[in-house]
Amino acid sequence: MNIQIRKFYYGDIPEDTAQVGSNHSTTNENAWPLWEVFIRSKQGLDHKHAGSLHAADAAMAIENARDVYTRRQEGVSIWVIESKHVHASNPDDAEMFYEPASDKIYRHPTFYDLPDELKHM
């Protein structure tokens, strides 16, 4: 049994799953490309991934992001990038990527005795 779980963000239902189980062509040539949206909040120093949306071009993507993700004053700066330009690590590589780090707790700076005068560490 092959169970596939995929995570979708608000507004992001990829065309390739729109007609699961049918024989129809699942590619919609007229669909606008997908964009990933990053928002920096007023207090934040970094842009955080907010979700994704569809837009015909970068200008429209920024405006859509403004309308969809900053309506409630969530941010003061927007980055967008077309989703196809994002390269992701392969889940199949998880073991060799991440597990070797799990038994190397000495990489955390937790074995030092800090002087009391030192704050905010």
Partner 1 sequence: MMNENKLVSSTLQLADSALILGQRNAAWCAHGPILEQDIAITNITLDLIGQARNFYQYAAKLMNEADNKNETEDTLAYFRNERDFKNYLICELPNGDWAQTILRQFFLSTFQSLLFEKMMQSSDTQLAAIATKSIKEIQYHLKWSSEWVIRLGDGTEESRNRILAAVDYLWMYTGEFFIPAAYEIFNAADLQQDWLHHVAIVFEEATIPFPAENQFMQTGGKTGMHTEHLGFIIAEMQSLQRAYPGAEW
Give the residue with the Cβ less far from partner 1, 40 or 66.
66
Could you tell me which residues come within 8 angstroms of residue 37 by beta carbon, excluding any fewer than 6 positions away? 49, 50, 51, 52, 53, 61, 65, 68, 69, 78, 79, 80
Report, in Å, the least distance between residue 48 CB and partner 1: 19
Give the residue with the Cβ less far from partner 1, 16 or 94.
16
Whether the Cβ atoms of residue 83 and residue 36 lie closer than 8 Å to each other: yes
Report, in Å, the least distance between residue 76 CB and partner 1: 14
Whole-number Å distance between alpha carbons of 38 and 27: 26
Collapsed DSSP state (helix, strand, coil) of residue 67: helix
Report, in Å, the least distance between residue 75 CB and partner 1: 15
Give the residue with the Cβ less far from partner 1, 16 or 57.
57
* Contacts with partner 1, residue ranges (CB under 8 A): 11, 32, 53-56, 59-60, 63-64, 67-68, 71
